[in-house]
Amino acid sequence: MKEKRVIVRRKRGIHLRPAQEIVNLTGQFACDVFLQNGSYRVNAKSIMGILGLAAAEGHELTITTDGVDEADALNEVFDLIESGFPNLKEDE
């Protein structure tokens, strides 16, 4: 199991479009991927779970991965969130 913390840098936080980006990414990995905001922990392969995090700009999320490709998944999810979702415009 691996874990890393990341700060949400996106001004509008993680709403529907960024959540979909996370789900699309995590779905490519065999391992389990979880996101945690405070004491609320969700499966990062679930769009409803991610939306339930209510992750706003400045929130610190904990990414946890567990499984065969956990290191790659951890790094890619971290990079996506840390970069502010570069494939999306700020208003998406």
Q: Which residues are catalytic?
A: 15
* Number of Cβ within a 10 Å radius of residue 70: 19
Length of the chain: 92
Q: Which residues contact 91 (CB under 8 A, 6 or more apart)?
A: 12
